[in-house]
A and B are shown apart, each in its own frame.
Chain A
Amino acid sequence: MEDSTSLGQETENQQLGEAARPGEEEAAAPPRDPGPQSSGPWEAERAPDAAEPRPGSSRTRSPGSRGRAAGHGAVSPPPPQPRKPLRALARQDLGAAQQPDGAVSGAPDAGTALPDPLGLSTDEKASASGSQSREDTSPPTQQYRSSSTHSQPKELRTGNAQGEDPEPGASETAPSTLEIAVQNAKGYLFQASSKTGLNLYDHLSNVLTKIFDERPENAVDIIENISQKVKMAHFSKKLDTLQNENEMLPTYEIAERQKALFLQGHLEGADQELEDEIDLFSQAENSLPNVMESAFYFEQAGLGLGTDETYRIFLALKQLTDTHPVQRCRFWGKILGLEMNYIVAEVEIREGEDEEEVEEEDVAEAEERYNGESEADKDEEDELPKSFYKPPQAIPKEESRTGANKYVYFVCNEPGRPWVKLPSVTPAQIVTARKIKKFFTGRLDAPIVSYPPFPGNESNYLRAQIARISAGTHVSPLGFYQFGEEEGEEEEDVESGRDSFEENPDFEGIQVIDLVESLSNWVHHVQHILPQGRCTWFNPIPKHEEEEEEDEEKEEEKGEEPDYVEQEVGPPLLTPISEDLEIQNIPAWTTRLSSSLIPQYATAVLRSNLWPGAYAFSTGKKFENFYVGWGCKYSVDNYTPPVPPPVYQEYSSGPEITEMDDPSVEEEQAFRAAQEATELASQDNEESGEDDDDDN
């Protein structure tokens, strides 16, 4: 009976295809040659022909057939289609990999599939006791078999009955060949890699566990990656080290700094009395801009830094206004850099503060000038000619609070980092900055290497660019600002137009649609920077002559008039932007309505084409300017380095340079003759003393 069933099973397997055979061969192989058992079953598979007759021998033994049934538990669960891959697997030396494969094929029904690996793992622990493992593996065998093929049920049942009946007997007897084969295969899988200490069995079960845990789509397509991931996960396991990893240190550092931003409000609130707090609040309200509100409008325009960064900047500005004597503050914009960016705040310092520094600088400058003069004096006394070249008159920078230095600018690299005050700008820096085009690095002390040598480091260049951008792109709706009437008209005003303005209290707003349609409704409210580098004209000529210490009185009288003609003039304050210069047929400004769908609540958006990144919005009553970009000016053509300065011409060869030929003999003789003649004449006139004096 047993024989017949086993035979039937065998034939059935053959019917089903050869796919099942490798399993059998593998199962049968070890008993015949026990020697290579340790090396594993794959060796036996390499000679499938030799393995062929063996099943016959195993057929006769009942435990063998039973064991085979158990072996089928691992091999046969997959329905007919997956057998081919199985076979392929088996052909490769991974006969034992069938076990996981069976689990994979079982994946569709989760109920049976999930316990499977667990069963295997218990199996593996108890692999020494054969009966235990048999019990574990055989029940799934039934299920799969019954579902898989039509001809099986009978044999299955018999096989099953058989499996349960002789169980005690089997446990008593020596472990079956197939069992041994399975164990051998397992043993092979358990071999730890000499390099990494991993073994394939654990790896495969980890892979499967990961797949079941994560349930990715099309798992078969990405099995390689999953396998790799599992290995990577093993490798990246943290080792016990004496030092902590400091990989994340900068992250924590900036988080710590920014924490201060968020905390500062609380601390102050706790420390101070209510009244103080109100005072502070009202003061802060005056000095601190409503960054979030303008950010909202800019966002409507499709511009902005993102909500959380804007808020951090807002807090950073609050920190700035709390720690510095700030009268008014504004978020100017962001300048991108190669390594770090700059966040720029435009600040008006309260009266009476921050003066000392300026004076010191002035003193230093004056000293320099004095030294220069004294040297010049010495030069004149010396006999050998010194260089006549004098550097072109250094144009003094404008006083703080006027012209290009009207505002003070603070920059920081990231909100939370300390604010750095930029030095005030000198005309020379502006003039040079116009000739170069550089990227900012993000370090304020970085040198600027350029062809016209830039007087200063990156902080000066940044300040110069800020001045240029402000002068070019800060605009307001017409009528928002008006010229101040109370302030006395200074002398300078006559020359260059009035340079101060104040908010118009009667400003009633402009229709947004008008702002979009007509550029003449926008005006500049920052002074134009002259080619000289200043906002107000500085006459370099008289000063120049003063230094030479020639008749000062005369120069003061004369100086103004001829130079008045040369004076550079730019558009005065509050000039409409419709008069801005075009860039080669490209208008300098582009206006846009922020939303074409809901025009009644839209804002007017102004974009500068000259300074890409400069924007302005206006809702009619409110307005704001903002810059974000690389800090470079736009030009249609590529940047051309400035031409080298003209080569100084040599002295033209005039009478001072050329010399006469040496006197010839005839000339000397003639000269002697002439002398003798005069001597004779003088002897004649000896009496008269006057002539003598003349000769001497």
Chain B
Amino acid sequence: MDAESLLLSLELAAGSGQGLSPDRRAALLTSLLLVKRDYRYDRVLFWGRILGIVADYYIAQGLVEDQLAPRKTLYSLNCMEWSLLPPATEEMAAQVAVVKGRFMGDPSHEYEHTEFQKTTAEGEKTFEEDVVVHIKEETRLVSVIDQIDKAVAIIPRGALFKTPFGPVNVNRTFEGLPLSEARKLSSYFHFREPVGLKNKTLLEKADLDPSLDFLDSLEYDIPKGSWSIQMERGNSLVVLRSLLWPGLTFFHSPRTRNHGYIYVGTGEKNMDLPFML
């Protein structure tokens, strides 16, 4: 959700019970402005909160002019002092995949993971060695945020448009989805570089508007039904909840520009989804 309209967004996203206490809200309104100034971001998004056992991580993201450019992620424990996270890499994701369970809330906390590694010694014998791998929680945080962003960060269709020069900008003339479109998954896009778009057939591509339909649509998510879409407050608010990453709430009030997403959760993927549907 945009840092500038944080209060309204929080009110709209409150249906899932995820909110911020008044002191956190006030702190965020102050500190995100400063973040925007100091890091020279074009936009600052309040991304959400990862619940740890000891403390919670508050996450913000800074966007530059091109909305699809890699985003900078910052975290804070007290909503005032923000620290920049390193960019996520594939290597990190592979490393972190072995860690399970909840976040601790201490960025310097180290998870220990024992791995069995087979080493062939001189005598052609294979030894099984226990190698203890230390993984910092900060690394895991980076990786999880990246995964969530790639999987479930979404925007309504038309909120961004691609300029002829390439960069993707916020569409000023976006006035919200019409009610009939707001219930369909196809009118929401993943907020990331498109992956599946190139795989589409020519026939499918023919109907697309190149300045608007340059992202992946939600309706092709796997598994089918990994989103819960609801109209709340008597059709004046669409709420999308991700079932794959429970805790991610997207809201959009049709016919207005208000939209955004927030993640409040444990930072764990719901691998049981097929059982639960």
Contacts and interface: CB of A to CB of B under 8 A. Distances in A.
Contact of A339 (B23, B100, B230): B230
A190 to B, nearest CB: 27
Contact of B78 (A250, A584, A596, A637): A596
B123 interface: no
Interface stretch (A34-42, A300-308, A480-488, A513-521): A300-308
B236 to A, nearest CB: 7
Nearest to B271: A638
Given A226-B173, A637-B100, A247 B179 contact: yes
B98 interface: no
Interface string A618-646: 00000000001110101011110100000
Interface string A234-259: 00000000000001101111110010
A630 B272 contact: no
B275 A340 contact: no
A489 B236 CA distance: 55
A225 B169 CA distance: 12
B241 A586 contact: no
B275 A639 contact: yes
A599 to B, nearest CB: 11
A144 B121 CA distance: 90
A364 interface: no
A680 interface: no
Given A250-B235, A638-B271, A639-B272, A304 B19 contact: yes
B166 interface: no
Interface secondary structure of A, over-half rule: loop
Contact of B17 (A254, A585, A629): A629
Given A303-B17, A595-B23, A629-B17, A438 B276 contact: yes
Contacts of A613: 17
B171 interface: yes
Interface in A93-119: none
A225 B172 contact: yes
Interface residues of A, number: 62
B76 to A, nearest CB: 13
A229 interface: yes
Interface stretch (A55-63, A274-282, A330-338, A388-396): A330-338
Given A225-B171, A437-B276, A638-B271, A251 B236 contact: yes
A628 B12 CA distance: 16
A336 B241 contact: yes
B147 interface: no
A439 interface: yes
A309 B266 contact: no
Interface residues of B, number: 46
Contact of A586 (B15, B101, B179, B233): B101
Nearest to A636: B101
Contacts of A225: 161, 171-173
Contacts of A612: 265-266
Interface string B170-196: 011100000110000000000000000
Nearest to B14: A306
Given A225-B171, A306-B15, A636 B22 contact: no
A254 B234 contact: yes
Interface in B1-59: 11-12, 14-24, 51, 53-54
Contacts of B265: 612
B185 to A, nearest CB: 13
A594 interface: yes
Interface string A277-290: 00000000000000
Interface in B229-254: 230-236, 241, 243, 246
A305 B15 contact: yes
B13 to A, nearest CB: 8
B15 A309 contact: yes
B17 A594 contact: no
Nearest to B101: A636
Contacts of B241: 336
B16 A336 contact: yes
A228 B209 CA distance: 12
Contact of B246 (A229, A609, A630): A630
A674 interface: no
A299 interface: yes
A151 interface: no
Nearest to B164: A224
A637 B12 CA distance: 33
Contact of B14 (A305, A337, A439, A639): A305
B157 to A, nearest CB: 14
Contact of B179 (A248, A306, A438, A638): A248
B95 interface: no
A222 interface: yes
B53 A248 contact: no
Given A302-B21, A338-B228, A339-B228, A586 B173 contact: no
Interface string B199-234: 000000000000100000000000001001011111
A639 B272 CA distance: 6
Contacts of B15: 305-306, 309, 341
A300 B26 CA distance: 12
Nearest to B273: A439
B277 interface: yes
A254 B237 CA distance: 13
Nearest to B179: A247
A220 interface: no
18 contacts: A252-B234, A253-B234, A299-B19, A299-B22, A300-B21, A306-B15, A309-B14, A309-B233, A336-B228, A339-B228, A436-B275, A439-B276, A586-B53, A594-B21, A607-B51, A612-B266, A628-B16, A641-B275
Given A225-B173, A338-B225, A639-B272, 11 more contacts: A254-B235, A255-B234, A300-B21, A304-B14, A306-B12, A338-B243, A339-B228, A439-B228, A585-B101, A590-B53, A594-B21
Interface of B: 11-12, 14-24, 51, 53-54, 78, 100-102, 161, 171-173, 179-180, 211, 225, 228, 230-236, 241, 243, 246, 265-266, 271-272, 275-277
Interface of A: 216, 222, 224-226, 228-229, 247-248, 250-255, 258, 299-307, 309, 334, 336-341, 414, 436-439, 584-587, 590, 594-598, 607, 609, 612-613, 628-630, 632, 634, 636-639, 641
